[in-house]
Structure 1
Amino acid sequence: MHGFSHPWIIVGTDTEVGKTVVTAGILRLLARQPLKVSTIKLVQTGCSLSESTSALVAPDLEIYRQALSSLQSPPLHEPSLQVPYCFEPACSPHLAAELQRQTISTGNLCEIVSRELQGGRFVLAECAGGLLVPLNSKETTLDFLCALPAANVLLVADNRLGMINHTLLTLHTLDSVGIRARGIVLNNTTPVTQADRFLREDNLRTVARFGRTEVLAEIPWIEDFDPQTPGGWGSVDEAIKPLGPTLLSNAS
Protein backbone atom coordinates (compact mmCIF):
# COMPACT_ATOMS: atom_id res chain seq x y z
CA MET A 1 0.00 0.00 0.00
CA HIS A 2 1.23 3.47 -0.89
CA GLY A 3 1.70 6.09 1.80
CA PHE A 4 2.25 9.78 1.24
CA SER A 5 3.84 12.11 3.75
CA HIS A 6 3.59 15.40 1.87
CA PRO A 7 0.66 17.01 0.06
CA TRP A 8 0.77 18.45 -3.43
CA ILE A 9 -0.46 22.04 -3.52
CA ILE A 10 -1.48 23.68 -6.80
CA VAL A 11 -0.69 27.42 -6.77
CA GLY A 12 -1.27 29.91 -9.57
CA THR A 13 0.50 33.05 -10.66
CA ASP A 14 -2.93 34.70 -10.79
CA THR A 15 -6.60 33.88 -11.04
CA GLU A 16 -7.94 32.32 -14.26
CA VAL A 17 -4.61 30.76 -15.27
CA GLY A 18 -5.99 27.23 -15.50
CA LYS A 19 -5.28 25.79 -12.03
CA THR A 20 -8.54 23.87 -11.99
CA VAL A 21 -7.97 22.17 -15.34
CA VAL A 22 -4.43 21.25 -14.24
CA THR A 23 -5.76 19.90 -10.92
CA ALA A 24 -8.49 17.94 -12.70
CA GLY A 25 -5.95 16.59 -15.19
CA ILE A 26 -3.71 15.39 -12.36
CA LEU A 27 -6.75 13.85 -10.69
CA ARG A 28 -7.50 11.90 -13.88
CA LEU A 29 -3.90 10.69 -13.98
CA LEU A 30 -3.99 9.57 -10.34
CA ALA A 31 -7.41 7.93 -10.71
CA ARG A 32 -5.81 5.38 -13.03
CA GLN A 33 -3.37 4.37 -10.29
CA PRO A 34 -4.06 2.03 -7.32
CA LEU A 35 -4.14 5.03 -4.99
CA LYS A 36 -6.56 6.58 -2.56
CA VAL A 37 -6.72 10.23 -3.59
CA SER A 38 -8.15 13.24 -1.78
CA THR A 39 -8.65 16.35 -3.89
CA ILE A 40 -9.39 19.56 -2.02
CA LYS A 41 -10.40 22.95 -3.38
CA LEU A 42 -9.29 24.86 -0.29
CA VAL A 43 -11.50 27.91 -0.79
CA GLN A 44 -14.13 28.46 -3.48
CA THR A 45 -15.83 31.77 -4.16
CA GLY A 46 -18.50 32.50 -6.76
CA CYS A 47 -20.56 29.46 -5.76
CA SER A 48 -24.19 29.12 -6.83
CA LEU A 49 -27.22 27.82 -4.97
CA SER A 50 -28.51 24.42 -6.03
CA GLU A 51 -32.17 24.63 -7.04
CA SER A 52 -32.84 21.14 -5.72
CA THR A 53 -31.02 21.24 -2.37
CA SER A 54 -30.46 24.98 -1.74
CA ALA A 55 -26.84 24.08 -0.93
CA LEU A 56 -23.92 25.97 -2.42
CA VAL A 57 -22.38 24.34 -5.49
CA ALA A 58 -18.63 24.81 -5.96
CA PRO A 59 -17.91 25.17 -9.71
CA ASP A 60 -14.36 23.79 -9.49
CA LEU A 61 -15.58 20.67 -7.69
CA GLU A 62 -18.03 20.18 -10.55
CA ILE A 63 -15.13 20.28 -13.02
CA TYR A 64 -13.31 17.64 -10.94
CA ARG A 65 -16.41 15.45 -11.09
CA GLN A 66 -16.80 15.98 -14.83
CA ALA A 67 -13.14 15.09 -15.34
CA LEU A 68 -13.63 11.82 -13.48
CA SER A 69 -16.91 10.94 -15.20
CA SER A 70 -15.22 11.42 -18.59
CA LEU A 71 -12.69 8.64 -17.89
CA GLN A 72 -13.06 5.59 -20.11
CA SER A 73 -12.84 3.33 -17.06
CA PRO A 74 -14.00 4.16 -13.51
CA PRO A 75 -11.28 5.04 -10.96
CA LEU A 76 -9.68 2.11 -9.17
CA HIS A 77 -10.50 3.94 -5.92
CA GLU A 78 -13.19 6.62 -5.90
CA PRO A 79 -11.39 9.90 -5.05
CA SER A 80 -12.54 12.06 -2.17
CA LEU A 81 -13.57 15.57 -3.29
CA GLN A 82 -14.12 18.39 -0.83
CA VAL A 83 -14.21 22.15 -0.43
CA PRO A 84 -13.81 23.31 3.20
CA TYR A 85 -14.85 26.90 2.50
CA CYS A 86 -17.52 27.70 -0.08
CA PHE A 87 -18.87 31.24 -0.58
CA GLU A 88 -21.44 32.76 -2.90
CA PRO A 89 -19.82 36.19 -3.52
CA ALA A 90 -17.47 36.12 -6.52
CA CYS A 91 -14.51 37.97 -4.99
CA SER A 92 -11.29 37.33 -3.08
CA PRO A 93 -11.53 34.71 -0.29
CA HIS A 94 -11.12 37.08 2.66
CA LEU A 95 -13.81 39.44 1.34
CA ALA A 96 -16.22 36.63 0.43
CA ALA A 97 -15.87 35.19 3.94
CA GLU A 98 -16.34 38.61 5.52
CA LEU A 99 -19.48 39.26 3.47
CA GLN A 100 -20.91 35.96 4.73
CA ARG A 101 -19.75 36.66 8.29
CA GLN A 102 -17.31 33.78 8.35
CA THR A 103 -13.56 33.45 8.87
CA ILE A 104 -11.20 31.23 6.92
CA SER A 105 -8.82 29.46 9.30
CA THR A 106 -5.44 28.41 7.90
CA GLY A 107 -5.12 26.14 10.93
CA ASN A 108 -8.31 24.35 9.93
CA LEU A 109 -7.07 23.95 6.36
CA CYS A 110 -3.81 22.46 7.62
CA GLU A 111 -5.71 20.05 9.88
CA ILE A 112 -7.84 18.86 6.95
CA VAL A 113 -4.77 18.22 4.80
CA SER A 114 -2.98 16.43 7.66
CA ARG A 115 -6.00 14.26 8.41
CA GLU A 116 -6.22 13.13 4.79
CA LEU A 117 -2.49 12.33 4.73
CA GLN A 118 -2.83 10.28 7.91
CA GLY A 119 -5.49 8.25 6.15
CA GLY A 120 -2.87 7.15 3.62
CA ARG A 121 -4.25 9.30 0.84
CA PHE A 122 -2.46 11.17 -1.92
CA VAL A 123 -3.53 14.75 -1.15
CA LEU A 124 -3.98 17.18 -4.03
CA ALA A 125 -5.09 20.67 -2.98
CA GLU A 126 -5.90 23.63 -5.23
CA CYS A 127 -5.46 27.14 -3.86
CA ALA A 128 -7.61 30.14 -4.76
CA GLY A 129 -6.01 32.83 -6.92
CA GLY A 130 -2.35 33.71 -6.48
CA LEU A 131 0.19 33.23 -3.72
CA LEU A 132 -0.49 36.44 -1.79
CA VAL A 133 -4.28 36.30 -1.91
CA PRO A 134 -5.55 37.10 1.61
CA LEU A 135 -7.48 34.32 3.34
CA ASN A 136 -8.42 36.40 6.36
CA SER A 137 -7.47 39.74 7.94
CA LYS A 138 -3.94 38.56 8.77
CA GLU A 139 -2.98 35.59 6.58
CA THR A 140 -2.45 34.83 2.90
CA THR A 141 -2.13 31.63 0.90
CA LEU A 142 1.62 31.90 1.51
CA ASP A 143 1.04 31.71 5.27
CA PHE A 144 -0.99 28.54 4.74
CA LEU A 145 1.87 27.00 2.75
CA CYS A 146 4.38 27.95 5.43
CA ALA A 147 2.27 26.17 8.04
CA LEU A 148 2.24 22.90 6.09
CA PRO A 149 5.07 20.41 6.71
CA ALA A 150 7.16 20.20 3.52
CA ALA A 151 4.39 20.68 0.98
CA ASN A 152 5.11 19.93 -2.67
CA VAL A 153 4.20 23.09 -4.58
CA LEU A 154 3.31 22.99 -8.27
CA LEU A 155 3.04 26.40 -9.92
CA VAL A 156 0.57 26.99 -12.76
CA ALA A 157 1.10 29.92 -15.14
CA ASP A 158 -0.79 31.12 -18.20
CA ASN A 159 1.60 31.17 -21.15
CA ARG A 160 1.09 34.71 -22.45
CA LEU A 161 2.77 38.10 -22.57
CA GLY A 162 3.63 39.23 -19.02
CA MET A 163 3.82 35.77 -17.47
CA ILE A 164 7.60 35.85 -17.04
CA ASN A 165 7.39 38.57 -14.41
CA HIS A 166 4.41 37.00 -12.63
CA THR A 167 6.03 33.57 -12.57
CA LEU A 168 9.46 34.73 -11.39
CA LEU A 169 7.91 36.93 -8.69
CA THR A 170 5.92 33.96 -7.39
CA LEU A 171 8.97 31.68 -7.41
CA HIS A 172 11.05 34.37 -5.68
CA THR A 173 8.41 34.80 -2.98
CA LEU A 174 8.32 31.05 -2.37
CA ASP A 175 12.12 30.93 -2.21
CA SER A 176 12.15 33.78 0.32
CA VAL A 177 10.33 31.59 2.86
CA GLY A 178 12.29 28.45 2.08
CA ILE A 179 9.79 26.79 -0.25
CA ARG A 180 11.16 25.47 -3.53
CA ALA A 181 8.50 24.80 -6.16
CA ARG A 182 8.73 21.26 -7.50
CA GLY A 183 7.93 22.46 -10.99
CA ILE A 184 5.90 24.67 -13.30
CA VAL A 185 2.94 23.77 -15.49
CA LEU A 186 2.19 26.15 -18.35
CA ASN A 187 -1.34 26.54 -19.63
CA ASN A 188 -2.41 28.14 -22.90
CA THR A 189 -5.80 29.72 -22.18
CA THR A 190 -5.90 31.62 -25.49
CA PRO A 191 -5.24 30.51 -29.07
CA VAL A 192 -1.62 30.52 -30.24
CA THR A 193 -1.05 32.79 -33.23
CA GLN A 194 1.90 32.65 -35.59
CA ALA A 195 2.92 36.08 -34.30
CA ASP A 196 3.16 35.04 -30.64
CA ARG A 197 4.35 31.45 -31.02
CA PHE A 198 8.00 32.49 -30.60
CA LEU A 199 7.04 34.50 -27.50
CA ARG A 200 5.40 31.53 -25.80
CA GLU A 201 8.33 29.26 -26.62
CA ASP A 202 10.68 31.84 -25.12
CA ASN A 203 8.47 32.15 -22.02
CA LEU A 204 9.04 28.47 -21.28
CA ARG A 205 12.80 28.71 -21.62
CA THR A 206 13.07 31.99 -19.71
CA VAL A 207 11.06 31.07 -16.61
CA ALA A 208 12.94 27.77 -16.36
CA ARG A 209 16.32 29.49 -16.62
CA PHE A 210 15.74 32.53 -14.41
CA GLY A 211 13.47 30.70 -11.99
CA ARG A 212 15.78 27.68 -11.76
CA THR A 213 12.65 25.55 -11.87
CA GLU A 214 11.75 22.94 -14.46
CA VAL A 215 8.68 23.34 -16.65
CA LEU A 216 7.23 19.87 -16.20
CA ALA A 217 4.27 20.15 -18.57
CA GLU A 218 2.46 22.49 -20.93
CA ILE A 219 -1.23 22.22 -21.74
CA PRO A 220 -2.01 23.42 -25.27
CA TRP A 221 -4.87 25.67 -26.29
CA ILE A 222 -7.91 23.39 -26.65
CA GLU A 223 -10.57 24.91 -28.87
CA ASP A 224 -14.16 24.57 -27.59
CA PHE A 225 -12.99 22.73 -24.48
CA ASP A 226 -15.96 21.28 -22.60
CA PRO A 227 -15.19 19.58 -19.26
CA GLN A 228 -18.38 17.53 -19.57
CA THR A 229 -17.16 15.68 -22.67
CA PRO A 230 -14.17 13.32 -23.03
CA GLY A 231 -12.77 15.02 -26.15
CA GLY A 232 -10.82 17.88 -24.59
CA TRP A 233 -9.57 15.82 -21.67
CA GLY A 234 -7.54 13.65 -24.04
CA SER A 235 -5.27 16.60 -24.82
CA VAL A 236 -5.03 17.43 -21.12
CA ASP A 237 -4.14 13.81 -20.32
CA GLU A 238 -1.36 13.78 -22.89
CA ALA A 239 0.07 17.05 -21.56
CA ILE A 240 -0.15 16.01 -17.89
CA LYS A 241 1.33 12.52 -18.41
CA PRO A 242 5.00 13.65 -17.89
CA LEU A 243 4.08 14.75 -14.35
CA GLY A 244 3.49 11.16 -13.25
CA PRO A 245 6.99 10.24 -12.03
CA THR A 246 7.40 13.52 -10.14
CA LEU A 247 3.99 13.29 -8.48
CA LEU A 248 4.53 9.73 -7.31
CA SER A 249 8.11 10.25 -6.14
CA ASN A 250 7.12 11.05 -2.53
CA ALA A 251 5.54 7.67 -1.84
CA SER A 252 6.91 6.22 1.38
Structure 2
Amino acid sequence: MTVIVVTGTGTEIGKTVVTAAVAALAVAEGRSVAVVKPAQTGVGPHEAGDVDEVRRLAGPVTGVELGRFPEPLAPATAARRAGLAPVTPDAVAEEAGKLAAEHDLVLIEGAGGLLVRFDEAGATLADVAGLLGAPVLVVVPAGLGTLNTTALTAEALRARGLDQLGVVVGSWPGRPDLAARCNLADLPEAAGAPLLGAVPEGAGALAPAAFRERAGQWLAPRLGGGWDAEAFGSAVG
Protein backbone atom coordinates (compact mmCIF):
# COMPACT_ATOMS: atom_id res chain seq x y z
CA MET A 1 0.00 0.00 0.00
CA THR A 2 1.48 3.30 -1.09
CA VAL A 3 -1.45 5.53 -0.07
CA ILE A 4 -3.86 5.06 2.84
CA VAL A 5 -6.79 7.36 3.53
CA VAL A 6 -7.52 7.74 7.25
CA THR A 7 -11.05 8.73 8.19
CA GLY A 8 -13.28 8.37 11.22
CA THR A 9 -16.88 7.94 12.23
CA GLY A 10 -16.82 11.42 13.74
CA THR A 11 -14.55 14.09 15.12
CA GLU A 12 -12.21 14.05 18.14
CA ILE A 13 -11.93 10.26 18.18
CA GLY A 14 -8.20 9.78 17.65
CA LYS A 15 -7.55 10.00 13.89
CA THR A 16 -4.40 12.08 14.29
CA VAL A 17 -2.90 9.80 16.93
CA VAL A 18 -3.70 6.71 14.86
CA THR A 19 -2.16 8.37 11.81
CA ALA A 20 0.94 9.14 13.89
CA ALA A 21 1.17 5.54 15.11
CA VAL A 22 0.96 4.13 11.58
CA ALA A 23 3.59 6.65 10.45
CA ALA A 24 5.88 5.85 13.40
CA LEU A 25 5.85 2.14 12.62
CA ALA A 26 6.60 2.76 8.96
CA VAL A 27 9.49 5.09 9.85
CA ALA A 28 10.84 2.46 12.26
CA GLU A 29 10.90 0.02 9.35
CA GLY A 30 13.04 2.46 7.39
CA ARG A 31 10.23 3.57 5.09
CA SER A 32 9.84 7.15 3.92
CA VAL A 33 6.48 8.60 4.95
CA ALA A 34 4.41 11.63 3.96
CA VAL A 35 1.29 12.83 5.75
CA VAL A 36 -1.32 14.99 4.02
CA LYS A 37 -4.02 17.00 5.79
CA PRO A 38 -6.35 18.22 3.05
CA ALA A 39 -8.19 20.75 5.22
CA GLN A 40 -7.15 21.83 8.70
CA THR A 41 -9.93 23.65 10.52
CA GLY A 42 -10.11 25.32 13.91
CA VAL A 43 -6.45 26.34 13.96
CA GLY A 44 -4.98 29.80 13.57
CA PRO A 45 -2.20 30.82 11.16
CA HIS A 46 0.69 30.24 13.57
CA GLU A 47 -0.72 27.38 15.64
CA ALA A 48 0.31 23.74 15.37
CA GLY A 49 -2.08 21.59 13.37
CA ASP A 50 -2.62 17.85 12.97
CA VAL A 51 0.34 17.45 10.61
CA ASP A 52 2.60 19.07 13.19
CA GLU A 53 1.31 16.67 15.84
CA VAL A 54 1.96 13.65 13.61
CA ARG A 55 5.49 14.84 12.95
CA ARG A 56 6.10 15.44 16.65
CA LEU A 57 4.96 11.96 17.62
CA ALA A 58 6.11 9.89 14.65
CA GLY A 59 9.46 11.45 13.82
CA PRO A 60 10.89 12.43 10.44
CA VAL A 61 7.94 12.47 8.06
CA THR A 62 7.06 14.88 5.28
CA GLY A 63 4.00 16.94 6.23
CA VAL A 64 1.69 18.76 3.83
CA GLU A 65 -1.36 20.86 4.67
CA LEU A 66 -3.40 21.98 1.66
CA GLY A 67 -5.86 24.32 3.36
CA ARG A 68 -6.22 25.99 6.75
CA PHE A 69 -9.39 27.62 8.00
CA PRO A 70 -9.58 29.21 11.46
CA GLU A 71 -13.08 28.22 12.61
CA PRO A 72 -13.73 24.69 13.96
CA LEU A 73 -16.31 23.77 11.34
CA ALA A 74 -16.69 21.41 8.41
CA PRO A 75 -14.14 22.34 5.72
CA ALA A 76 -16.72 23.64 3.24
CA THR A 77 -18.37 25.84 5.86
CA ALA A 78 -15.07 27.01 7.34
CA ALA A 79 -13.70 27.93 3.91
CA ARG A 80 -16.86 29.84 2.97
CA ARG A 81 -16.93 31.79 6.21
CA ALA A 82 -13.23 32.63 5.90
CA GLY A 83 -13.68 33.83 2.32
CA LEU A 84 -11.07 31.32 1.15
CA ALA A 85 -11.05 28.83 -1.69
CA PRO A 86 -11.96 25.31 -0.56
CA VAL A 87 -9.74 22.30 -1.01
CA THR A 88 -10.83 20.03 -3.86
CA PRO A 89 -10.43 16.25 -4.16
CA ASP A 90 -8.50 16.74 -7.41
CA ALA A 91 -5.95 18.92 -5.60
CA VAL A 92 -5.57 16.36 -2.82
CA ALA A 93 -5.18 13.48 -5.26
CA GLU A 94 -2.64 15.41 -7.30
CA GLU A 95 -0.54 16.22 -4.23
CA ALA A 96 -0.78 12.65 -2.94
CA GLY A 97 0.31 11.33 -6.32
CA LYS A 98 3.40 13.52 -6.29
CA LEU A 99 4.27 12.46 -2.76
CA ALA A 100 3.69 8.78 -3.56
CA ALA A 101 6.30 9.01 -6.30
CA GLU A 102 8.87 10.10 -3.70
CA HIS A 103 7.78 8.21 -0.57
CA ASP A 104 7.08 4.63 0.42
CA LEU A 105 3.86 5.53 2.23
CA VAL A 106 1.44 8.46 2.02
CA LEU A 107 -1.19 8.91 4.75
CA ILE A 108 -4.12 11.23 4.06
CA GLU A 109 -5.94 12.27 7.24
CA GLY A 110 -9.42 13.62 6.73
CA ALA A 111 -11.42 16.05 8.88
CA GLY A 112 -14.30 14.54 10.81
CA GLY A 113 -16.02 11.69 9.00
CA LEU A 114 -15.95 10.22 5.51
CA LEU A 115 -18.70 12.39 4.03
CA VAL A 116 -17.87 15.76 5.58
CA ARG A 117 -18.06 18.28 2.74
CA PHE A 118 -14.90 19.84 1.31
CA ASP A 119 -16.73 22.34 -0.88
CA GLU A 120 -20.16 23.62 -1.87
CA ALA A 121 -20.40 20.99 -4.62
CA GLY A 122 -20.46 18.29 -1.95
CA ALA A 123 -17.03 16.75 -2.58
CA THR A 124 -15.76 14.58 0.29
CA LEU A 125 -12.83 12.47 1.43
CA ALA A 126 -14.56 9.52 -0.23
CA ASP A 127 -13.96 11.24 -3.57
CA VAL A 128 -10.26 11.50 -2.75
CA ALA A 129 -10.07 7.78 -2.02
CA GLY A 130 -11.91 7.05 -5.26
CA LEU A 131 -9.59 9.19 -7.36
CA LEU A 132 -6.54 7.48 -5.86
CA GLY A 133 -7.95 3.96 -5.65
CA ALA A 134 -6.66 3.99 -2.06
CA PRO A 135 -7.88 1.84 0.84
CA VAL A 136 -9.59 3.57 3.74
CA LEU A 137 -8.67 3.03 7.40
CA VAL A 138 -11.58 3.91 9.70
CA VAL A 139 -10.94 5.19 13.22
CA VAL A 140 -13.79 4.61 15.64
CA PRO A 141 -14.64 5.27 19.31
CA ALA A 142 -14.80 2.39 21.73
CA GLY A 143 -18.14 2.73 23.45
CA LEU A 144 -21.87 2.69 23.02
CA GLY A 145 -23.08 3.91 19.62
CA THR A 146 -19.95 3.02 17.71
CA LEU A 147 -21.46 0.00 15.98
CA ASN A 148 -24.07 2.13 14.22
CA THR A 149 -21.66 4.80 12.97
CA THR A 150 -19.15 2.14 11.96
CA ALA A 151 -21.79 0.28 9.97
CA LEU A 152 -22.96 3.50 8.30
CA THR A 153 -19.41 4.40 7.27
CA ALA A 154 -18.84 0.89 5.94
CA GLU A 155 -22.08 1.07 3.95
CA ALA A 156 -21.02 4.40 2.43
CA LEU A 157 -17.64 2.92 1.44
CA ARG A 158 -19.24 -0.12 -0.19
CA ALA A 159 -21.77 2.05 -2.05
CA ARG A 160 -18.86 3.92 -3.63
CA GLY A 161 -16.84 0.80 -4.40
CA LEU A 162 -14.10 1.79 -1.96
CA ASP A 163 -11.91 -0.69 -0.09
CA GLN A 164 -12.02 -0.57 3.70
CA LEU A 165 -8.63 -1.58 5.04
CA GLY A 166 -9.94 -2.09 8.56
CA VAL A 167 -10.99 -0.43 11.80
CA VAL A 168 -8.89 0.96 14.65
CA VAL A 169 -10.26 2.08 18.03
CA GLY A 170 -8.80 5.54 18.38
CA SER A 171 -8.95 5.89 22.17
CA TRP A 172 -9.27 2.71 24.18
CA PRO A 173 -10.32 3.57 27.76
CA GLY A 174 -8.23 2.61 30.74
CA ARG A 175 -11.35 1.14 32.34
CA PRO A 176 -13.51 -0.14 29.48
CA ASP A 177 -17.18 -0.60 30.22
CA LEU A 178 -19.32 -3.52 29.09
CA ALA A 179 -20.22 -1.88 25.76
CA ALA A 180 -16.58 -1.23 24.89
CA ARG A 181 -15.55 -4.78 25.74
CA CYS A 182 -18.39 -6.27 23.70
CA ASN A 183 -17.66 -3.95 20.79
CA LEU A 184 -14.25 -5.55 20.27
CA ALA A 185 -16.02 -8.66 19.00
CA ASP A 186 -18.84 -6.81 17.22
CA LEU A 187 -16.89 -4.09 15.38
CA PRO A 188 -15.51 -6.36 12.61
CA GLU A 189 -19.03 -7.54 11.82
CA ALA A 190 -20.39 -3.98 11.79
CA ALA A 191 -17.54 -2.83 9.57
CA GLY A 192 -17.29 -5.86 7.35
CA ALA A 193 -13.54 -5.44 7.85
CA PRO A 194 -10.96 -6.52 10.43
CA LEU A 195 -10.20 -4.80 13.70
CA LEU A 196 -6.61 -3.62 13.27
CA GLY A 197 -5.82 -2.01 16.60
CA ALA A 198 -6.76 -0.19 19.76
CA VAL A 199 -4.77 2.90 20.74
CA PRO A 200 -4.97 3.64 24.48
CA GLU A 201 -6.51 6.90 25.60
CA GLY A 202 -3.86 9.48 26.36
CA ALA A 203 -1.37 7.99 23.91
CA GLY A 204 -0.93 11.37 22.24
CA ALA A 205 0.31 12.82 25.52
CA LEU A 206 3.25 10.43 25.67
CA ALA A 207 6.75 11.70 25.02
CA PRO A 208 7.62 11.07 21.36
CA ALA A 209 10.23 8.42 22.19
CA ALA A 210 7.74 6.47 24.32
CA PHE A 211 5.02 6.85 21.68
CA ARG A 212 7.26 5.39 18.97
CA GLU A 213 8.42 2.57 21.23
CA ARG A 214 4.88 1.52 22.13
CA ALA A 215 3.08 2.06 18.80
CA GLY A 216 3.70 -1.52 17.72
CA GLN A 217 1.70 -2.73 20.72
CA TRP A 218 -1.40 -0.89 19.49
CA LEU A 219 -1.63 -1.82 15.81
CA ALA A 220 -1.95 -5.13 13.98
CA PRO A 221 0.70 -6.60 11.64
CA ARG A 222 -1.14 -5.25 8.60
CA LEU A 223 -0.28 -1.78 9.89
CA GLY A 224 3.24 -2.71 10.93
CA GLY A 225 2.67 -3.67 14.57
CA GLY A 226 2.24 -6.82 16.63
CA TRP A 227 -1.21 -6.23 18.15
CA ASP A 228 -3.55 -9.24 18.09
CA ALA A 229 -7.30 -8.69 18.28
CA GLU A 230 -8.11 -12.07 19.82
CA ALA A 231 -5.45 -11.82 22.50
CA PHE A 232 -6.42 -8.24 23.32
CA GLY A 233 -10.10 -9.18 23.58
CA SER A 234 -9.29 -12.05 25.93
CA ALA A 235 -7.13 -9.79 28.10
CA VAL A 236 -9.82 -7.13 28.59
CA GLY A 237 -12.86 -9.42 28.41
Structure 1-normalised TM-score? 0.80
1:94 maps to 2:76: yes
Verify the 8 A CA contact 1:145 1:151 in the aligned structure 2: yes
- 112, 117, 121: which one aligns with 2:104: 121
List runs of 5+ in structure 1 lacking aligned partners: 51-56, 70-77, 247-252
CA distance in 2, matches of 1:227, 1:63: 12
Whether the aligned pair in 2 keeps the contact of 1:12 and 1:19 (CA below 8 Å) is yes
Task: Report the counterpart of residue 136 of structure 2 in structure 1.
Answer: 153
- Structure 2 gaps of 5+ residues are 226-237
- Give the match for residue 61 of structure 1: 51
Alignment of 1:204 with 2:184, yes or no, is yes
Q: Does 1:24 align with 2:20?
A: yes
The corresponding residue for 1:220 is: 200
The amino acid of 2:219's aligned partner reads I
User: Which letter does structure 1 place at the counterpart of 2:189?
Assistant: R
Q: CA deviation at 1:232?
A: 5.2
Which residue among 174, 177, 187 is the counterpart of 2:170?
Answer: 187
* Offset at residue 24 of structure 1 (A): 0.6
Q: Which residue of 1 aligns with 2:127?
A: 143
Contact 2:25 2:224 in 1 (8 A): no
Contact 1:222/1:232 (<8 A) preserved: no
Does the residue aligned with 1:213 lie in a helix, a strand or coil? coil
**Quick check: 184-193 or 22-31, which moved more?**
184-193
Residues 241, 143 of structure 1: CA spacing in aligned structure 2 closer, same or farther, 3 A cutoff? closer
Q: Per-residue deviation at 1:180?
A: 2.4
Correspondent of 2:44 among 44, 48, 63: 48
- Counterpart CA distance in 2 for 1:107 and 1:187 is 28
Counterpart secondary structure, 2:201: coil
Rounded to whole Å, the distance in 2 between the matches of 1:219 and 1:134 is: 27
Q: Match of 2:86, SS?
A: coil
Q: Report which structure shows greater RCO (CA 8 Å, sep ≥6).
A: 1
Structure-2 residue corresponding to 1:11: 7
CA contact (8 A) 1:222 1:235 kept: no
Q: Does the Cα contact within 8 Å between 2:17 and 2:170 map onto a contact in 1? A: no
CA distance in 2, matches of 1:245, 1:88: 34
Secondary structure in 1 aligned to 2:205? coil
Question: Which residue in the other structure is 2:94 paired with?
Answer: 111
Q: 2:180 aligns to what SS in structure 1?
A: helix
Tell me the percent identity.
Answer: 26
1:36 aligns with 2:32: yes
In the alignment of these two chains, the number of paired residues is 223
- Aligned partner of 1:10: which letter? V
1:75 aligns with none
SS in structure 2 of the partner of residue 48 of structure 1: coil
> Which residue identity lines up with residue 34 of structure 1 in the other structure?
G
Q: Which amino acid in 1 is paired with 2:73?
A: C
